[in-house]
Amino acid sequence: MDMFAPTYANLLESRQKACEASENACLEWDQERWNEEKASNMEKQQFEEVKLQKQMEFDEKQHTNKYKFEKEKWNRECELKEKQFQMDLTIAGLSSSRPIAELEHILTLINKK
């Protein structure tokens, strides 16, 4: 059974009584219901708009946080690679003060092993 049936039946009965009293009362009753429905729909629409705005703000924040996280992760990886490179140079008995061409040659030799 429809749970709204008794309420709807009551509304119809109320409308019928208003209509029986006079045609103007019937029209007023219809207008009041229309205004109530319109107000309810406007409230729903405003709620949905606010909800959508909040979701968009949340999504933007998530995107920004993800970008920051990826950037920080990339920076950490670069730092680790730089430290590893310096350790490799130290292990190989080299220093970063040697000319770049010599370092590249040594790295080529190391990579061939």
Give the tens place of pLDDT for each residue, 48-92: 999 999 999 998 888 888 888 888 999 899 899 888 888 877 777
Mean pLDDT of the chain: 81
pTM across the whole model: 0.39
Q: Is the pLDDT of residue 96 over 70?
A: no
Averaged over 82-108, what is the pLDDT? 74
How far CA 71 is from CA of 68, 77, 78, in Å, comes to 5, 10, 11
Intra-chain end-to-end CA distance of the chain, in Å: 82
Structurally, the chain folds into a number of domains equal to 1
Averaged over 88-99, what is the pLDDT? 68
> Which amino acid, 24?
N
Q: What is the pLDDT of residue 113?
A: 63
Q: What is the pLDDT of residue 5?
A: 59
Q: What is the pLDDT of residue 22?
A: 73
Structural domain of residue 51, as residue ranges? 5-112
